[in-house]
Amino acid sequence: MAVIETEGLTKRFGDVRAVEDLDLRVEEGEVFGFLGPNGAGKSTTIDMLLDFVRPTAGTATVLGYDAQKSPTEIHQRVGILPEGYGLYDRLSGRKHVEFMVESKGTDDDPDDILELVGLDPEDADRAVGGYSKGMAQRLVLGMALVGDPDLLILDEPSSGLDPNGAREVRRIVRELADEGTTVFFSSHVLGQVEAVCDRMGIMRNGRLVAVDTIDGLRDSIGTGSSIELTVDTVPDGIETLTIDGVSSLTARDGTIRATVLDPSAKIAVIDRVRDEGATVRDVTTSESSLEDLFTAYTTDRETAGDGAEGVRA
């Protein structure tokens, strides 16, 4: 069963196309990473799933309910960490959790929730007006966990958290996923998503430009490693050479860089460069990462990183 399904989902604010013709399907039990730079339309999409924003066209279904017709049924079963939320500064953290428990009509113990997200009991009794961004983020994550939701929608959950806090968020997400909760996790930072997600979708300028598993996306870059040689002089015409297993070859300022499809081709590159009469002073190799892919999909081609060119070509 699809937990989230959108068809032709579109939102325009005046002339601005925030989300354009989005077809998205998130299956039960998966952790889905929703990636893209700020302003790509991630939050607008989430706002439409939660009926905070009404689509210009298209439909969104969450847990089988139409997002615009049955928002309260959806919210009863979904835990939400929204983007750009505010809190009730005069109320304590515990009161916030209690409000969510009462609203959902569940029997969660607020103390258990607060402990799970690592909010100290003393802090929980203070008014949230004095909370740091990280504490607020933990609190709202805790509120999202109330009622053991079938689906967790987290919009930039790591923003404002230190690396430790971000790691903890990933741990909580992983635990919930292991219990069968579907998680929809948006971020503009690939590293946050890569470690926990089964599949990811990449948004750019309101459009979904790629959806696949992590492995699938890796495959689409090829094995995607590269080798960089520092040489005394760059032989003439080196960029026009054809070497088996090498997808691109560039040279600049005493450095020759090759993107290889097959790791064994790295040696071939070194041999060939030496055959051309250059002395190799240093060798560095790198595995091209999903970061390169992300960069390729989310920036204009002209400015895309080297490691990504093979993908776009």
Partner 1 sequence: MSWSVVARKDFADAVRSRMLWSIVGLFAVLMAVSALVPDLLGDGDPVVGYSIAAGLAETLVPVTALVAAYLAIAGERESGSIKILLGAPHSRLDVTVGKLVGRTGVVVVGVVAGFLVAGVVALAVYGNLALSEFVSVTALTAALGLAFVGIAVGISAATSTRSRAMALAVGLFFVFALLWDLVPLALTYLRTGSLPTPGETVPAWQMLLQQLNPSEAFGQLVDTALGGADAPGAEGGAAALAGQVSGPVPFYLEDWFMLVILGAWTVVPVVVGHLRFRDADL
Q: Which residues bind partner 1 (CB under 8 A)?
A: 13, 47, 50-54, 71-73, 75-76, 80, 82, 84-88, 90-91, 95-96, 99-100, 102-104, 127, 140, 143
How far apart are CB 232 and partner 1 at their closest, in Å? Answer: 59
How far apart are CB 127 and partner 1 at their closest, in Å? Answer: 8
How far apart are CB 168 and partner 1 at their closest, in Å? Answer: 21
Which residues on neighbouring strands pair with residue 187, listed in sequence order? 35
Cβ(165)–Cβ(138) under 8 Å?
Answer: yes
Nearer to partner 1 by C-beta: 48 or 169?
48
Q: Which two tokens stand for residue 215?
A: 């492995």
How far apart are CB 20 and partner 1 at their closest, in Å? Answer: 17
Nearer to partner 1 by C-beta: 87 or 241?
87
Question: What does the alpha-carbon distance between residue 73 and residue 272 come to, in Å, rounded to a whole number?
Answer: 65
Nearer to partner 1 by C-beta: 140 or 246?
140
How far apart are CB 302 and partner 1 at their closest, in Å? Answer: 35
How far apart are CB 90 and partner 1 at their closest, in Å? Answer: 4
Indicate the pairing of strand 2-13 with strand 207-213.
unpaired
Identity of residue 191: G
Q: Which two tokens stand for residue 204?
A: 């750019």
DSSP code for 92: B
Angle in degrees, CA 91, 92, 97, rounded to 5: 100
Classify burial at 105, counting beta carbons within 10 Å of its beta carbon; exposed 0-12, middle 13-18, buried 19 or more.
exposed
Closest by CA to 155, choosing from 119, 192, 118, 114, is 192
Nearer to partner 1 by C-beta: 47 or 123?
47
Helix (H, G, I), strand (E, B), or coil: what is residue 243? coil
Question: What does the alpha-carbon distance between residue 51 and residue 67 come to, in Å, rounded to a whole number?
Answer: 6
Nearer to partner 1 by C-beta: 39 or 191?
39
Q: Which two tokens stand for residue 68?
A: 């615009």
Nearer to partner 1 by C-beta: 84 or 237?
84
How far apart are CB 87 and partner 1 at their closest, in Å? Answer: 6
Nearer to partner 1 by C-beta: 133 or 312?
133
